[in-house]
Amino acid sequence: MARSPVAQTDDTRFEEPILQIERKIEELSAYPASDGTQREIERLKTSLQSLREEIFGRLSPWQKTLVARHQRRPYTLDYIRYLIEDFVELHGDRGYGDDPAIVGGFGFFNGRAVCVIGHQKGRDTREKVTRNFGMPRPEGYRKARRVMDLADRFGRPILTFIDTPGAYPGIDAEERGQAEAIAMNLHRMARLRVPFIATVTGEGGSGGALALAMGDYVNILEHAVYSVISPEGCAAILWKDQEKWKQEAARAMKITAQDLHQMGLVDAIIPEVPGGAHTDAAMQAQMVSALLEEQLSVLLSMGSEERIERRHAKYRAMGSFLEVVE
């Protein structure tokens, strides 16, 4: 018997009670200040905090996907702004051109020189088009590899921030060697001598995400997702109806941070501020910073050969199968 899709009430409306309280707070804040108004605002803020914790504590996999895609979610440049001092961005792959969908460069993290690379989606329509909605072309991945090479040469730890629907699937990208560019990144990341930490901050989409994510540690934010295909794409292929079955696909694919951590595909889940990372980017960045500093300390205590062996063992151990002998 065919399974029925999950109820269609499991959608973006889960945030509506939160938005209603936020609107009330905004309206009251516009009134002249008074003790009564201030007390009501404080009461609403307390209710808002409790409601956020309640709602975001029971999100479905599809709802987590929507949160991971939230248009106000912090992107790579936001984390750079909060965590990296004196950042200098590098451009171009020295072969074709520059790809704004990937940001890469050098700066200082807690006083330590590091390399930072990540996807950038864009906020408004113009920037989204410029950044190609965070979907890199081959020159973006080759730029990332060039920056990794520099980091490896000069002994700079690498921090990557992953948030992409996937690599751009256009004809021009295929003509310029999209698959080869991603494959070469995987090959290069496996041999890096410097510490390498990857953090999935939003969407981790397929090879487009993996091309920056083969780290010594792979972290994921609490409401981020990481998968080989989007729930809509999976539903369209398996059930020929992405709108009807996308929620069931999200559930079946085990794409949430909790599922991935249980399967050993990510090393750590970074808690999000109540209501999701988009409600307080500065605080979220500090929560990310604390774990990165801890992990960097561990990796820097190892020699380069030990890190490479550890990295190889980590990825060789992924995946398991059950052999039944009759």
CATH of the domain at 169: 3.90.226.10
Is there a single domain that holds both residue 209 and residue 302?
yes
Closest CA to 201 of 278, 133, 262, 275: 278
> Is residue 6 situated within a structural domain?
no
135 is written with which tokens? 């979907």
Is there a single domain that holds both residue 151 and residue 52?
no
> Is residue 21 situated within a structural domain?
no
How far apart, in whole angstroms, are the C-alpha atoms of residue 133 and residue 61?
22
Q: What is the pLDDT along the chain (326 residues), one digit of tens a residue?
A: 344 443 444 466 777 777 777 788 878 787 777 777 778 878 887 777 777 777 787 889 999 999 999 989 999 999 999 999 999 999 999 999 999 999 999 999 999 999 999 999 999 999 999 999 999 999 999 999 999 999 999 999 999 999 999 999 999 999 999 999 999 999 999 999 999 999 999 999 989 999 999 999 999 999 999 999 999 999 999 998 888 899 999 999 999 999 999 999 999 999 999 888 998 999 999 999 999 999 999 999 999 999 999 999 999 988 766 777 77
Closest CA to 230 of 210, 212, 204, 211: 204
Where among 40, 58, 76 does a domain terminate?
A: 58
Is there a single domain that holds both residue 48 and residue 119?
no
HSE-CB at 190 with a 13 A cutoff on CA atoms is 11
Is there a single domain that holds both residue 41 and residue 156?
no
Is there a single domain that holds both residue 37 and residue 130?
no
Is there a single domain that holds both residue 139 and residue 51?
no
Is there a single domain that holds both residue 41 and residue 144?
no
Q: What one-letter code names the amino acid at 317?
A: A
> Is residue 17 situated within a structural domain?
no
Q: In 3-state terms, the chain is what percent helix, strand and coil (to 5)?
A: 50, 15, 35
13 is written with which tokens? 């409306």
Is there a single domain that holds both residue 126 and residue 51?
no
Write out the residue range of the structural domain in which residue 97 sits: 66-316
> Is residue 204 situated within a structural domain?
yes
Where among 18, 40, 58 does a domain terminate?
A: 58
How far apart, in whole angstroms, are the C-alpha atoms of residue 217 and residue 198?
6
Is there a single domain that holds both residue 140 and residue 250?
yes
Is there a single domain that holds both residue 159 and residue 51?
no
How far apart, in whole angstroms, are the C-alpha atoms of residue 45 and residue 52?
10
Q: Assign 291 to helix, strand or coil.
A: helix
249 is written with which tokens? 């696909």
> Is residue 310 situated within a structural domain?
yes
> Is residue 128 situated within a structural domain?
yes
Longest Cα separation, the chain: 79
How far apart, in whole angstroms, are the C-alpha atoms of residue 238 and residue 217?
33
Q: Please name every residue paired with 269 in a beta bridge, in sequence order, or none if there are none.
A: 220
The number of folded domains in the chain is: 2
> Is residue 187 situated within a structural domain?
yes
Is there a single domain that holds both residue 54 and residue 77?
no
- 287 and 273 in contact (C-beta within 8 Å)? yes
Is there a single domain that holds both residue 53 and residue 139?
no
> Is residue 199 situated within a structural domain?
yes
